Amino acid sequence: MTKKICIAIDGPAAAGKSTVAKIVASKLQFIYIDTGAMYRAATYLAFQAGVSYEDEAGIMKLLQTKTIRFEPGDIQQVFIDDENVTNVIRTDEITNHVSVVSAHLLVREALQKKQQAFASAGGVVMDGRDIGTAVLPNAELKIFLLASVKERAERRYKENKAKGYDVDFEQLQKEIEDRDHLDYTRKHSPLKKADDAITVDTTSMSIQEVATKILDLANQTIEQ
């Protein structure tokens, strides 16, 4: 029986965290927790209700009346109560404002509690920006993914084109730079490499190569 460790994968926007985390979780038969989708869901709630992204109290009221949950599938499905929001939380409107919503302390505390509850039994792969530092500080394996802004923009550009979205590469690169700035400089739980995290620079690496490297590290940790 595989030891049920917790794996934390952190890194900036479009570093490949979610894609790699899904592969690793599938190979290990662990549960994948997309924390970014939870913050996107909170952002979508604000958008739908006409609440300002800066209105922390207003967003908290929405979160207190709604349940964010996941269901398995070829693509993990994200629900707010019974509404499937898997696709709508990936639109530009949500993507460009999620860093604003996720910077609110009360929002982070509320969602971090949910994330910690998901991971309480172990056997999870969780990705985000503060997993190794704030959400799962005792995770047995912590990974910090890095890649150049240009490389990350190219990945996101290809993903969006494949989904049929009409995107401008230069604008996309600027948006990623802006998100980096917000994530690294926010007051509460900023994007930061945990002291005991292993850095993996994914520039010029394929997703499968990154996943294989993390799986090797995971297996080494499990066998310890």
101-149: per-residue pLDDT in tens? 999 999 999 999 999 999 999 999 999 999 999 999 999 999 999 999 9
Q: What is the distance of C-alpha 35 from the center of its chain? A: 5
* Of the candidates 152, 146, 117, 116, the residue with the CA atom closest to the CA atom of residue 131: 116
Average pLDDT score, the chain: 93
Q: What is the pTM of this model?
A: 0.85
pLDDT one-digit tens code per residue, 68-111: 998 877 788 999 999 999 999 999 899 999 999 999 999 999 99
- The residue with greater pLDDT, 24 or 187, is 24
For residue 121, what are its two tokens? 């039994």
Q: Which residues is 145 bridged to in the sheet?
A: 200
Q: Which residues is 201 bridged to in the sheet?
A: 146
Contact 126, 9 (CB under 8 A): yes
Segment 10-20 shows an average pLDDT of 91
pLDDT one-digit tens code per residue, 38-66: 999 999 999 999 999 999 999 999 999 99
CB-count burial class (<10 Å; 0-12, 13-18, 19+) for 153: buried
- The residue with greater pLDDT, 24 or 92, is 24
Q: DSSP assignment of the chain, as one string?
A: -----EEEEE-STTSSHHHHHHHHHHHHTPEEEEHHHHHHHHHHHHHHHT--TT-HHHHHHHHHH--EEEE-SSS-EEEETTEE-TTGGGSHHHHTTHHHHHT-HHHHHHHHHHHHHHHTTS-EEEEESSIIIII-TT-SEEEEEE--HHHHHHHHHHHHHHTT----HHHHHHHHHHHHHHHHH-SSS-S---TTPEEEE-TT--HHHHHHHHHHHHHHHHH-
Q: Give the per-residue pLDDT at 1.
A: 58
Segment 16-27 shows an average pLDDT of 92
Percent of all residues in the chain with a pLDDT value above 70, rounded to a whole number: 99
